[in-house]
Structure formats: C-alpha cells, structure tokens
Structure 1
Amino acid sequence: MTEASASPGRAAADDDGSVARSATPFWLAITIAVLFGVFYAYDVWEAVGNLVGMNVTAGELGVAITGAGWALLLAGIAVPLLVFGAAFWLGRRRSPLVQVVLYLAGYALVQVLAADFASFGLAVLDLS
C-alpha cells in the first residue's frame, strides 16, 4: 500500500504491516510543554521559597535544619523538575492528547508529593 492510496482518515501501513502513527507537530508539542511547564515552574519557585523561608526561620530561632530537612527541602525542588522531564520524555512521540494526560498525571503526582512534604512542617528543624 502506498501513501497515495491510503485514505486520508487512516494511517499508512509500513512494509512490515505495522501502522505508522503520526507524531505531534513540533510547534504543538512545544506549546503544550510550555503551558504545563508554567505550572511545574511555579511548584519549583514555591519549593525554593520554602527552602529560603525555612533557612531564615531556622536562623531567627537559632536552630539548625536537620539533614533530613535539607533532603526534604531539596527534594521539593527536584521532584517537579524530574517529573516534568519524565512527562516530556514519555510524551515526545505521542499524540497531543496523550501528552496532555501525561503532564496532568505528572502534575497531580507533584501536588500529592508537595502536600506530603508540607505535612512534615517544623520536623525539618533540630529543636534540641
């Protein structure tokens, strides 16, 4: 079957019989990534604010941030970046709908983890 003989609504079949999927146009993939990237970037900005705020609070109280606290605060910065990168990587050759679903699922995961990180509260301070 040649591409000319394929109907416009169907994907053309390759020589081995597999159906070739059309990838998302580059401009649309970048637009989707940028739109969702704004939400992920806000979470990174919020995590940096938490890191700075906890550091200032610890300094004002005259206490130190524990090692687990530093790990938790740094994980709050790294998780949105890693999840966005994973969603981008997994969706790079998929349809626009699949890309949107991947970004939404990743963003939901980031929000759940951010809520978990926030639930630790002052546990990052060494009050002893």
Structure 2
Amino acid sequence: MTASDDLNAAPTVRSDSDGTRPRTPLWLAVTLAVLFGLFYAYDVFEALGNLIGISDFANQLDASINGFGWVLLVLGLVLPLVLFAIAFSLGRNRGPLAQIAFYAVGLGLSAVLSLDIIAAFARWIPIG
C-alpha cells in the first residue's frame, strides 16, 4: 500500500454504534450543570419551605403530621436532588443538546412529582 492509496481511501465515518459521541466541552458542561442546578436548587428550597411551613402550621393548630406525611415532605425535598444527579449522569458523555434535554426532562418530572406530592398531602394526610 502506497501513500497515494491512503489519500484516495474513503474517510471513515464515526457513528454512535462504535461508542463515539459528540462530547460537550468541559466549560459548557459545567455552565449547563450550574445553570440547571440553580433551577433544581429552587425546587429544593421550595420543598424545604413546604416542609417548614406545613410543620409550623400543624404546630400552630396543636396538631401533628403522621409518618406518611413526613415521608412525602422529605421525598419532595430529596426528589429534585436525585433527578439532577440522574440527569447529570445520563448526559455526562453526550452532546450539549442531549444534556439540555436530560436536565429539562428532569425539571419537568420534578415539577410533576412535586405537584403530586402536594396534592397527595392535601388529600390523604390529615393534620390532627
């Protein structure tokens, strides 16, 4: 095989089947993680406000929250952190659009599950 044969050879095409994907530059991956992390942190602070507010409200009524209620309140606090970790790990070795999609889907899922927890708390957990 000569040098001219190497020049005339067809270029190899990289595909996802051999494990190569477009990777996000480190600065962009960190920027996306911090930007979306702020939205997830807002969900955590919102859940913390719900936990403190509802327990304070129950104390003002001289009532208590049962065990299932505490599980739901703590789940609302931990859920955004877990979803962010899952979105980060799934999008870690992918392109920027895939990372944005994973973070956005995680935020949507966090919002839906937070509303479900609030609805379940309001309907099923008696304070008293």
Q: Under TM normalisation by the shorter chain, which class is it?
A: 0.7 to 0.9
**Structure 2: stretches of 5+ with no match in the other structure:** 1-6
Structure-2 change in CA distance of 1:63 and 1:102 (3 Å): same
Corresponding residue number in structure 2 for 1:84: 84
Corresponding residue for residue 36 of structure 2: 36
Closer, same or farther: CA 19–115 of 1 in aligned 2, 3 Å: closer
TM-score (norm 2): 0.82
Instruction: Give 3-state SS (helix, strand or coil) of 1:64's partner.
Output: coil
**Cα shift readout 1:44-80 (whole Å, capped 9, x = no counterpart):** 0000000000111111101111000000000000100
Q: Which has the larger radius of gyration?
A: 2
Paired residues in the alignment total 117
Maintained 8 Å contact 2:87/2:106: yes
Q: TM-score, structure 1 length as denominator?
A: 0.82
Measured against aligned partners, the alpha-carbon deviations of 1:100-121 in whole angstroms (never above 9, x if no partner) come to: 0000111110010011011132
RMSD of equivalent CA atoms: 2.3
Whether the aligned pair in 2 keeps the contact of 1:11 and 1:19 (CA below 8 Å) is no
Runs (5+) with no aligned partner, structure 1: none
**Kept in 2: contact 1:91–1:99 (CA 8 A):** yes
Equivalent residue number for residue 61 of structure 2: 61
| Aligned residue in 1 for 2:119 | 119
User: 1:112 corresponds to which letter in structure 2?
Assistant: V
Q: Summarize the Cα distance change of 1:11–1:115 in structure 2 as closer, same or farther, 3 Å threshold.
A: farther
In structure 2, the CA distance between the partners of 1:109 and 1:19, relative to structure 1 (3 Å rule), is closer
Q: Distance in 2 between matches of 1:79 and 1:122?
A: 20
Say if 2:21 and 2:93, in contact at 8 Å, map to a contact too. no
Q: Could you tell me how far 1:126 is from its partner in structure 2?
A: 3.7
Give the Å deviation of 1:12. 6.4
Where does residue 50 of structure 1 map in the other structure?
A: 50
Q: Aligned to 2:18, what secondary structure does the other structure show?
A: coil
